[in-house]
Chain A
Amino acid sequence: MRRTLPLTITFLAGLVMFAQFFVPHKLSQDALTYMTDWMRIIGAFALVLGIGSLIQRHTGRIRQRHPDAAFSAVALLCFLGMVVLGIGWKTEEGSPFDWGFTYVFMPLDATMFSVLAFFMASAAYRTFRARTPEATLLLVASLALMFGRIPLQRALDPHLAGVAEWIMTWPATAAKRGILLGVALGSMAMSLRLLLGIERSHLGTGKE
């Protein structure tokens, strides 16, 4: 029963949404509105679950005196601090929550991302080698794209930008389209497996 009921709900919900897409009747549109409301409610619950999981994981680490317990304490303190500031003083511009976002979260998040540039430069220097014909092709294409994305010299720029645009529009788009089609076919196959109850990994490994 613990497996049959979720599988039946999955099958019926999938079937209704599939049929709804092709039926332009008012009843069908109402069904979409109703299901969309449900999705939003489930989305909100997922947020609650996520928060619950975060608290559980970090309190567990602190209780077990894990070597990284101090980081968990900081994560929990920051989380609770932002929750208190957000609920107590709202989140509008100029509020304490906004101050925390602008002067703590923004610089930290931006710094983490900026560090990537340094590692990318170092990795490019050490590993980007024309060892094989394929690697050479990749190297030439990437150099052309990098030149095409920057202003160099007014007489040269239209040509470099043109080469970069050509690579993006034709060979790269063709490859990307192939990947997208593969992903779409894979998604359809996976959806069918879920609807027909063949794919059951999302139900967990509990006993019947």
Chain B
Amino acid sequence: MIGVNFWERLQRLDRRVIFILIAAVVAIPLIWPPRPKLQISPPTQKVFDYIEKLPPGSVVALCFDYGPSSAPELDPMAYAILRQCLTKGVKVIVMTLDITGKQMKSHALNRVVAQLEQEGVKPVAGDDYLDLPYQPGYTAVVLGMGEDVHKVFPIGTAGGKTQPIGTWPLMDRVHTMRDLSLVVDLASSNTPTMWVLYGASRFGVKVAAGVTAVMVMDYYPFLQSKQLVGLLGGMKGAAEYEQLLKKPGLGMSGMGGQKWGHLVIIAFVVVGNIGYFASRRAARRAAGAAEVG
């Protein structure tokens, strides 16, 4: 018979057991990644459809407002969106409002361009894509872009060359923020709010966001009010986007770890609650028996 001690022991389970289980269930699917079929959420579908409908030659700004800590969730989104744009002739400007995003954007752009070149797609540096430098003061940068993008970013980098911004052919199409067909902000902080407040409301640019899973709820009100075109949420959002693009990548690989990680946490929560109620009941019975005695 299961006694009080069992439930009490269960309540005081050594945290190392939990740590080992979590490590195992997250690591194993990363080594043998599954390829699950995901249910596409409407906010992800909206971002994909919006970019899909853009005519070739449109310009999308992809803003990398995150650092390495959020890279597992946001890097796959960046790769997928860059790939989608560059393969369908939509031009891309990469930029950042966060200092740690400086290296993230260059790495992502160079990686996707190299992959596309291997596949035979040859995006032209400075005409199809451009890397803009980091500038401090994110509100001022967004407001400044609404007035004159060339003034905010005096130089740009593409194909390993850094030149004055006006010398890049892509920038003939972009003078103010209104010339951008879409801004996609991939963020681990509140910068999408900044883009909505100053970019969308003030200058009328369309804004979409890709955020970490814990931040998703912060942006649903903007989605409902149509101030955001769409929203990618966490690793699932990235994996859904890869599925829509029919190009499974890091997001899809991470879903195995996320799935088993969630299931183990759910199991722990359920077991913890069973233990809690069982020990409470056993304690009550013991108290009742003591009273009778």
Contacts and interface: CB of A to CB of B under 8 A. Distances in A.
Contacts of B87: none
Given A32-B147, A92-B106, A106-B68, A39 B140 contact: yes
A112 interface: yes
Contact of A118 (B18, B102, B157, B277): B18
Contact of A106 (B71, B140, B144, B262): B71
Interface of B: 11, 13, 15, 18-19, 22-23, 26, 36-39, 41-42, 67-72, 100, 102-103, 106-107, 110, 135-137, 139-141, 143-144, 147-148, 151-152, 157, 160, 213, 216-218, 220-221, 224, 234, 236, 255, 258-259, 261-266, 268-269, 271-273, 276-277
Contacts of A105: 68
Nearest to B37: A154
B268 A117 contact: no
B217 A168 contact: yes
A109 interface: yes
B19 A118 contact: yes
Interface stretch (A43-51, A73-81, A192-200): A43-51
Given A40-B141, A149-B234, A149-B236, A121 B264 contact: yes
Nearest to B143: A36
A203 interface: no
B272 A128 contact: yes
Contacts of A93: 106-107, 110
B195 to A, nearest CB: 16
Given A106-B68, A113-B70, A43 B148 contact: no
Contact of B272 (A126, A169, A173, A180): A126
Contacts of A92: 106, 157, 160
A152 B140 contact: no
A87 interface: no
A104 to B, nearest CB: 10
A102 B111 CA distance: 14
B136 A46 contact: yes
Interface of A: 29, 32-33, 36-37, 39-40, 42-44, 46-47, 91-93, 98, 101-102, 105-107, 109-110, 112-113, 117-118, 120-122, 124-126, 128-131, 139, 143, 146-147, 149-152, 154, 157-158, 161, 165, 168-169, 172-173, 176-177, 180
Which are the 7 A-B pairs with shortest beta-carbon distances? A43-B137, A39-B140, A113-B69, A151-B36, A106-B68, A125-B268, A109-B68
B36 to A, nearest CB: 4
Contacts of B141: 40
Contacts of B18: 118, 121-122, 125
Contacts of B71: 106, 110
Contact of B15 (A107, A122, A151, A161): A122
Contacts of B36: 151
B103 A91 contact: yes
A33 B261 CA distance: 49
Nearest to B188: A113
A150 B262 contact: yes
A105 B161 CA distance: 25
Contacts of A158: 39
B144 A173 contact: no
B148 A33 contact: yes
Given A101-B103, A106-B68, A149-B234, A122 B19 contact: yes
A35 to B, nearest CB: 8
Given A40-B135, A43-B140, A150-B236, 17 more contacts: A36-B147, A40-B140, A92-B106, A93-B107, A109-B68, A110-B68, A121-B22, A121-B261, A126-B272, A128-B272, A129-B276, A139-B273, A149-B213, A151-B37, A157-B38, A157-B39, A172-B217
